[in-house]
Structures are given as structure tokens and as C-alpha cells.
Amino acid sequence: MARNTAQRLDRIERLIRERMQPDTSPLFLRDGQSIPDGIDQSRIVFIKRVLIDPPERDQEQLPEMAIEPELEPEPKRGFDRSMTYPNLSIV
């Protein structure tokens, strides 16, 4: 039992040490933002937004549209009258 307790304590201490280590993951900040106190400079990654204008190009010449002859409208098929619904009321 004492041996098992010692192993458990060692494991708990190791887990605590791992979790208490300072965070080493990168911290992303916008360009120009101030760095918070207590943060290591090597962790900081600045993100800068740059808008790029497209290069100037000559305007493309589109082919001329061929004019199609007007088509006659198709005759209506099926019912040519609208459906009427019966008047319903709640009694």
C-alpha cells in the first residue's frame, strides 16, 4: 500500500509540474497592439493585414453579341383558369 501511495504521489507531482510550466504556445497579436506584461517576446507572432491593389491590365474586348430572331411565345397548355378554394370557417 505504501509503495502504491508513493507511485501515486510521484505521478501527481509530475502532472502538477507539467501543468504549472509557463505556456510556450504562440500568442497572436495584431500589428501595432501592445504586448501584455509577463509574456515572453519569443512567443509573440504579429499579424499584419496588407491590402494589395491588382496590377493594371488592358480591358478585354468581348465578342459582339449575335442577335437572335425573336421567338413566338409558346401557347398555354393545361388549365387556363385559376383554381378557387372553398370558403372554410371554424365552427
What residues pair up with 27 in beta bridges, in sequence order?
A: 44
Q: Would you write out the chain's pLDDT as a tens digit for each of its 91 residues?
A: 566 888 899 999 988 888 777 777 788 899 888 888 888 888 889 999 888 988 887 778 777 877 777 777 776 666 666 777 777 777 6
What number of other Cβ atoms are within 10 A of residue 5's Cβ? Answer: 9
> Where in 1-91 does DSSP place strands (E)?
27-30, 44-47
d(CA 48, CA 63): 42
User: pLDDT at position 79, please?
Assistant: 65
User: pLDDT at position 47, please?
Assistant: 92
